[in-house]
A and B are shown apart, each in its own frame.
Chain A
Amino acid sequence: MLTAVVLRFLRSKLFLTAIFFASFTYFVVNFYSDNSNVLLSNEEVDIHDVGSGRRPLGHIFQWQGSEDNNETSSKPSSCRNSVQGKALIADDKGYVCSRQNVMPNGCCKAETDGTKHYSCETCHNNGCCSIYEYCISCCLQPDKKEVLQDVLGKAAGTLNLLLTSVTDHFELCLTKCRTSSQSVQHENSYRNPRAKHCYGEAPPPLETEGTVDKNNNEHFLH
């Protein structure tokens, strides 16, 4: 008796329709949700994972030549510059000037006293400088190309990750002159606090014991 009722119920159109609707809805919803996910990942998400260690194809590295910064391009339309400096700014033409002498287009006023071109002030022979802006200017010298090609070729680890993202000479100098993983010893102190900005391949030479002691030095100055 009971089974008959159940069977009749199971066979009833009503029940079958309900099942059909439910299944169909499930199908429809699933179809749409899958579909939209695909759309999402194709259109919206283009995630670039950095870390291949190689320069992406199609990126041509722009070296700064010695010929294009003479009379022909004496009035550049605009410059990128080093942005951050306390007092000095280096622009992408290799000029270093004080902040007051930066023109609205971002370039240094070349004519002004105190503005220097391709200056290696405060830089040592090993390619390390005390002042960031001079490091950039020095690094932009056309004859530094060979040194920099070595840098690009030989950088390892996370530093390499950084340098493979650089697209031209100025960006390379901007980036290479910053303090980086190469600049530190024991993680929390500079290898050489007095010459920590290096465009060259070699890390800053370690300062000899005794002079590392920051507190001592400070006190001598008092």
Chain B
Amino acid sequence: MGFGLQVVKCRNVYQWKDSRQRQPRNLYMSVLMLFIAIITFVNSDCVINETLPVSKEECDGIVESSQQVHFEFSSKVINNEYIVAFNGYHSSASRANFIAAALNPFSSSGWKIVDRQNLAADYPSDFDLLRIPQQIEVDGLSALRNHPLIKRVTPQRQVFRTLKYINESNSDEFKEFRRFTGRSSLSLGNTFWHSTGRYSSRRLLRAIPRQITSVLQADALWNMGFTGAGVKVAVFDTGLAKSHPHFRKIRERSNWTNEKTFEDGLGHGTFVAGLIASSKQCLGFAPDSELHIFRVFTNNQVSYTSWFLDAFNYAILKKIDVLNLSIGGPDFMDQPFIDKVWELTANNVIMVSAIGNDGPLYGTLNNPADQMDVIGVGGINFEDQIARFSSRGMTTWELPGGYGRVKPDIVTYGSAVRGSSIQGGCRSLSGTSVASPVVAGAITLLASGVIQSGGVVNPASVKQSLMASARRLPGVNMFEQGHGKLDLVRAYHLLSNYRPHVSLSPSYIDLTECQYMWPYCTQPAYHDGMPIIVNVTILNGMGVTGRIVDKPTWHPYTPQYGEYLHLALTFSDLLWPWSGFLAVSISVSSEAAQWEGLAQGHVTFTVESPPGEGEDEPRRSTVNLPIKVRVVATPPRAKRILWDQFHNLRYPPGYFPRDNLRMKNDPLDWNGDHIHTNFKDMYQHLRSSGYYIEVLGWPFTCFDARNYGALLIVDPEEEFFPEETLKLRNDVEELGLSLIIMADWYNTTVMKKVKFYDENTRQWWMPDTGGANIPALNDLLTYWGIVLGDRIWEGEFMLGGHNMYFASGTTLSRFPADGVKVWRSLKDQGQEVLEGELTGGTELVAVMGFYQTPPRSPGRIVVYGDSNCADNSHMQKDCFWMLDAVLDYAVTGGEVPLAFQENPDGSDLELSNGGSPPKRMEGNQLHRYSKVLESSGQLDSAQPQARPLPSCPQPVFSVPSPLNKSAPTNLYQSQKLLSVSIDSSLPILPVQDRLLHNPFQALSSLDVDQMADDLPSGYRLQSDWSVSTKFALTIMTLAALVLFYQFYRNRNRPRRTRKSPRLKRVGVPSPNLSPTIKAPSV
């Protein structure tokens, strides 16, 4: 807490309800207060005003963690407006006089005191707002400053604030403990938020919605009588206490860990289960659902695939309907686990999983949420911004040859959400762990409603309905928000009217639509470029299996130049379970090489599934995929850069270590190393510098060097085919292709040092390369006399007026004499890693080299020893400016920029400091994961050799069948699946007795802000039947007692001859009519 503005309101009436389950003393006091309140009819609103440093808990009587609105502001100076501050307070008239006196020489120039129309205007003030015309600004201001009563004159500023909710610490918040390769629970510890500036800046405390269920309008479905009854929900988590007061129907608990307990020792499982099914205080969505608690995580957050396999089998056996997995890990190649998740959805289990907490970095999706058949949920805050922690797409399974799918599928509140705590109260927690059960609970509630009305509930129909009904957040791309924010009520309408069909994610391809279609919208298509691939997920609600009938057909629209597009379509042979893919590769025909404009058309296909229950004919559904592409004339060679994706290897499958050795808590290189994942900022920068960047997902033999100015090889872990080396030599020397290489560290001793014991596979993990595969790079470059060394360097230096940070990198150990080398002083990080401390000082090493290949060709080679400055993963200082300069040198044929020629004294040293060229580590297992190497024999000791060079992909363009029609310019129709009736209010069926009906519950359209300010309504929603019954009983008892007391008094004091009419007012429990009883309240 700190000082800050706090506006908290509460009423005693509600305070009682909330606190009564806390402790008897509180209860006693509250009841007493309630009693008094009723007697006196004093509606004692407790209002804590702005400046009091009181937390709202003191008013609520709730002990809980609090949330804060992190308050960022920027300001700009408003021209010609100044704040004139006086010594002391004066009335507005005298202030005007002072200013007039000071500005006397400029009386005709039109200065003006700006009226401040607020209540304070009637009182003396110590400042005025003054607007001064530009021509007298300088003189006028100095005149003002010279006036004896004027203290100072400062420019008026306009302040812009953005509010961000921050989860303030919670004393029992458990630590985020990431096991690197295993799965971990996806909630956030408080350490996450310990970013800079939090304690120094001003903060605003604002009320946060009390009930997540109210924000998502679960009340609307409750009022229809749906509460999750009859739906089996499984919570795979850290367990749950048997007697937790929030839960009505815990059907079963099972323990799959090696700890002999069913109880939750962490609070994670309780919180998650609470969001789904809590019936008290902090409400869950489906309080009457049947909870099946699966304990698969120990208190130390350990879990194994084998535990999950057996537990999942049990879930299938028990015919679970909805399964929440607030867990995830980076290993999407854990085949037994992946197969099992498919098996679950194939058995009609609706899987909901958290997308991961590794944002805002891209390429950080967690498994199993990244699977097509699973509903992957991302997190937003209560201001509808994607939560910083929420993992971003794309999926990286498809790299290097393909392109990732859109994930997450949907987002919902995951930041500072209140839920059940382990002790029985409420707490708040952040993380996609939180967002996932919100969706799982919502699905449970939906399912209980739809099953009653005979609707279709299966993993695909639910996913389709959630995605089609989600509300898109403006300005956020699909790899962050998926289809948008969960809308429970719309989803209910869709699902209750659901007819089995096929739908697509994304449902259309509009490559011009920014921000939603980022990154596609950032670079147009052109002839000769690498095909643009859009990986569309097909969801088939008709059955667990399906097949695309014939082939998808491409219908270009003749009036809209569709024929300029060539489409190659690849797709799943079999859609199982409930899903498949359709990869659309878009190329531009040679006729459009000089054409600019929009080209449109659509792809259509039919899916067939076996007949459903009681049907004879197979089910069929046809779906259209509209396509819109911006085409430009092929850019000149100098503007085209090729990014080598083929030679990037990552975790999983193998242990590819981090590129920055300091990042000990994130040992793996797992973000895909793609320009749209962890090299996203670099891509954006190069695009804004006017370069067109294409991705090469195949060997170097698969591109035409005459099209490209430069080939970017950044942080390659893969080996190179001998054919590639030869081809590249020719490309550089004959065809003038330039090479830009950003290498990374490689040292076998350090590699052995960074081995670790993996808890999940119970094996020691030894890296198969260093940060980059330097021996392979040296093989590629030795022809030109360029060799990189095996020593690892770190340090900061200045280069071209910029601060540079060399995180963990290699340096030149040989370089052609006529090349330009950049020398800087760096520390030997390898030694530091090995010995634990740095003993030596800095040494001068060549961090960078520029080389012009022999004169008859313009091909140039630039080598830099470190890739961290271009990689978002652990970036400290970016070096995009350097890339600009290097690219400029590489593609235009100018001189080496002067910035790189300012070397410190003592340059022209021997390159021996760089170390010797590293040898490949003995016994490394790279061939297991490599696309280039294979083991030559049965024995591991045999030298691996290169595989035969794979053939390059030859796109098979689908035969176009043109249509003479036009598509609308805007392909996205947010409301297209919704009828008009949806925004009308829901029918309110007789309310179940257990749900307290009150006007606040029927809120048909409430937005978050309203909810936030409308605290009392949130309070009322916490009531449940037992509280209301007790409330009524208590009032009745009190009334009876009061009447008894009055009767007693009247009998004992016959002198007061009050007539009986008083006694007849039995039915009105209005104790305040008795004046004497009022006394205790005074």
Which of chain A's residues have a CB closer than 8 A to the CB of B977?
none
State whether the Cβ of A158 lies closer than 8 Å to any Cβ in chain B: yes
In contact, B762 and A86 (Cβ under 8 angstroms): no
Please tell me which one of the listed residues B31, B334, B950 contacts residue A26 in the complex, with CB atoms under 8 A apart.
B31
Distance A29 CA – B1031 CA, assembled complex (angstroms) = 9
Which B920-950 residues have a C-beta within 8 angstroms of A?
Answer: 928-931, 934-935, 938, 940, 947, 950
Query: How far, in angstroms, from A214 to B576 measured CA to CA in the complex?
Result: 22
Q: Say whether B309 contacts A219, CB under 8 Å.
A: no
Least CB distance from A38 to B in Å reads 12
Partner pick for A178 among B313, B1076, B1077, CB 8 A cutoff: B313
Give the shortest distance, in Å, between A211 (CB) and chain B (any CB): 10
Please indicate the chain B residues that have their CB under 8 angstroms from the CB of A215 in the complex: 653, 928-931
Which of A17, A188, A210 contacts B336, CB < 8 Å? A188
Does A87 sit within 8 A of B, measured CB to CB? yes
22 contacts between A and B (CB under 8 A): A14-B1079, A29-B20, A33-B1030, A46-B251, A47-B242, A47-B253, A49-B253, A51-B262, A83-B347, A87-B545, A99-B610, A100-B610, A158-B311, A162-B310, A162-B314, A178-B343, A183-B336, A184-B305, A190-B336, A216-B934, A219-B934, A219-B947
Q: Are A50 and B1080 in contact, CB atoms less than 8 angstroms apart?
A: no
Interface centre among A44, A86, A209 (most CB of B within 10 A): A86
Residues of A contacting B545 in the complex (Cβ-Cβ under 8 angstroms):
85-87, 99
1/0 per residue A138-153: CB within 8 Å of B?
Answer: 0000000000000000
Segment of B55-63, B619-627, B1034-1042 engaged in the interface with chain A: B1034-1042
Mark each residue of chain B from 440 to 453: 1 if its CB lies under 8 Å from any CB of chain A, else 0: 00000000000000
> In this assembly, does A79 line the interface, its C-beta being within 8 Å of a C-beta of chain B?
no
Let me know if B935 and A51 touch, CB within 8 A: no
Chain A residue at smallest Cβ distance from B1076: A14
Q: Which of B245, B255, B334, B336 has the most CB of A within 10 A?
A: B336
Known: A184-B336, A189-B335. A50 touches B254 (CB 8 A): yes
- Say yes or no: A162 contacts B317, CB within 8 Å: yes
Name the 9 nearest CB pairs between A and B, nearest first.
A181-B306, A84-B346, A50-B254, A188-B334, A158-B310, A187-B305, A186-B761, A48-B252, A86-B576
Q: Is the CB of B310 within 8 A of A159?
A: yes
Is there contact, CB below 8 Å, between A190 and B314?
no
Q: Chain A residues near B1080: list those with CB within 8 A.
A: 14-15, 18
Question: Does A2 reach chain B (CB closer than 8 Å)?
Answer: no
Of all chain A residues, which has the CB nearest B761? Answer: A186
| Nearest chain A residue, comparing its CB with the CB of B575 | A86
Return chain A residues, CB-CB under 8 Å to B1026. Answer: 33, 36
**Roughly how many angstroms separate A36 CA and B21 CA in the complex, as a whole number?**
13
How far does the Cβ of A62 sit from chain B's closest Cβ, in whole Å? 15
Do B306 and A187 touch (CB < 8 A)?
yes
> Is the C-beta of A222 less than 8 angstroms from some C-beta in chain B?
yes
Interface membership of B32, Cβ < 8 A: yes
Name the CB-closest residue of B to A208.
B938
Chain A min CB distance to B812 (Å): 34
Residues of B within 8 A of A188 (CB): 305, 331, 333-337, 760-761
> A130 at interface (Cβ–Cβ under 8 A)?
no
Does chain B have a CB within 8 A of A32? yes
Cα A186 to Cα B762 in complex, Å, equals 6
* Neighbour of A48 across the interface among B253, B316, B615, CB < 8 A: B253
Given A165-B314, A187-B334, 20 extra CB contacts under 8 A: A15-B1080, A22-B35, A29-B1030, A44-B249, A45-B250, A46-B251, A47-B242, A50-B252, A50-B255, A51-B255, A85-B545, A165-B317, A180-B306, A181-B310, A184-B306, A186-B762, A187-B305, A188-B337, A216-B928, A219-B934
* B residues in contact (CB < 8 Å) with A: 20, 24, 27-28, 31-32, 35, 242-243, 245, 247-256, 262, 304-307, 309-311, 313-314, 316-318, 331, 333-337, 339-340, 343, 346-348, 544-545, 574, 576-577, 610-611, 613-615, 653, 760-763, 928-931, 934-935, 938, 940, 947, 950, 1026, 1029-1030, 1033-1034, 1037-1038, 1041, 1045, 1076-1077, 1079-1080
**Interface residue A28 (Cβ < 8 Å from any Cβ of B):** yes
C-alpha gap A124/B343 in the complex (Å)? 23
Give the complex CA separation of A120 and B618 in angstroms. 29
How far, in Å, is B584 (CB) from chain A's closest CB? 24
Once bound together, how far apart are the Cα atoms of A179 and B337, in whole Å?
Answer: 10
A49 to B31, CA, bound (A): 38
Cβ of A126: which chain B residues have Cβ within 8 Å of it?
none
Q: Which residues of A contact B309 (CB under 8 A)?
A: 179-181, 183-184
Tell whether A25 pairs with B35 under 8 Å between CB atoms, given A49-B262, A83-B347. yes
Closest Cβ of chain A to B318, distance in Å, is 8
Option from B27, B307, B336 in Cβ contact (under 8 Å) with A189: B336
Chain B residues positioned under 8 Å from A30 (CB to CB): 24, 27
The verdict on A28 contacting B252 (CB below 8 Å), with A165-B317, A178-B313, A180-B310 known, is no
User: Given A84-B577, A222-B950, is A187 in contact with B761 using a C-beta cutoff of 8 Å?
Assistant: yes
Q: Is there an interface contact between A162 and B337, defined as CB atoms closer than 8 Å?
A: no
Q: Which residues of B contact A40 (CB under 8 A)?
A: 248
Binary interface encoding of chain A residues 49-74 relative to chain B, with 1 for a CB under 8 A from any of its CBs, else 0: 11100000000000000000000000
Contacts of A29 in B (CB 8 A): 20, 27, 31, 1030, 1034
Among the listed B27, B35, B336, B1038, which residue makes an inter-chain contact with A179, where contact means beta carbons less than 8 Å apart?
B336
Most chain B beta-carbon contacts within 10 A, residue among A44, A166, A187, A219 = A187
In the complex the two chains form, is A47's CB within 8 Å of B343's CB? no
Task: Return the chain A residue nearest B1037 by Cβ.
Answer: A28
Whether the Cβ atoms of B252 and A102 lie closer than 8 Å is no
A26 to B28, Cβ gap below 8 A? yes
Closest A residue to B256 using CB positions: A158
* Known pairs A21-B1041, A83-B346; A161 contacts B310 (CB<8 A): yes
Q: Are B254 and A47 in contact (CB-based, < 8 A)?
A: no
Q: Is A171 an interface residue (CB 8 A)?
A: yes
- For A22, A48, A158, A179, the residue with the greatest tally of chain B CB atoms inside 10 Å of its CB is A158
Residues of B within 8 A of A219 (CB): 934, 947
| Beta-carbon contact of B1045 and A17 below 8 Å | yes
- Distance between A97 CB and nearest chain B CB, rounded to angstroms: 12
Chain A contacts of B1041 at CB under 8 A?
A: 21, 24
* CB-defined contacts of B763 to chain A, threshold 8 Å: 186
Assess whether A25 is in contact with B1037, with CB atoms less than 8 Å apart: yes
A115 proximal to B (CB < 8 A): no
Q: Which residues of chain B have C-beta atoms less than 8 A from A48's C-beta?
A: 251-253
Contacts of A51 in B (CB 8 A): 254-255, 262
Does A45 contact B248, Cβ atoms closer than 8 Å?
yes
How far is the CB of B1047 from the nearest CB of chain A, in Å?
A: 13
* B333 touching A175, Cβ below 8 Å: no
A85: shortest Cβ distance to chain B, in Å?
8
- Nearest B residue to A26 via CB reads B28
A162/B313 in contact, CB under 8 A: yes
Query: Is the CB–CB distance between A210 and B938 below 8 Å?
Result: yes
Q: Are B35 and A193 interface neighbours, CB within 8 A?
A: no
For A15, the chain B residues whose CB sits under 8 A away are 1080
Closest partner residue, chain B, to A132 (CB atom)? B343
A158 to B20, CA, bound (A): 41
Cβ B313 vs Cβ A180 within 8 A: yes
Asked if A41 lies at the interface with its beta carbon under 8 angstroms from chain B, I say: yes
Contact (Cβ within 8 A) A28 B27: no
Q: Are the CB atoms of A187 and B762 closer together than 8 Å?
A: yes
Given contacts A86-B576, A102-B610, A216-B935, contact A41 B243 (CB under 8 A): yes
1/0 contact trace for A167-182 toward B, CB 8 Å? 0000100110011110
Contact status B311-A84, CB under 8 Å: no
Chain B residues with Cβ under 8 A from A44's Cβ? Answer: 248-249
B347 surroundings in chain A (CB, below 8 A): 83-84
Which chain B residue lies CB-closest to A50?
B254
Across-interface contacts of A99 in B (CB, < 8 A): 545, 610
**Residue ID in chain A nearest B574 by CB atoms:** A86
- Chain A residues within 8 Å of B343, by CB: 84, 178
- Beta-carbon contact of A24 and B1037 below 8 Å: yes
Decide yes or no: A190 and B1034 within 8 Å by CB, A49-B254, A49-B262 being known contacts.
no
CA distance A30 to B763 in the complex (A): 56
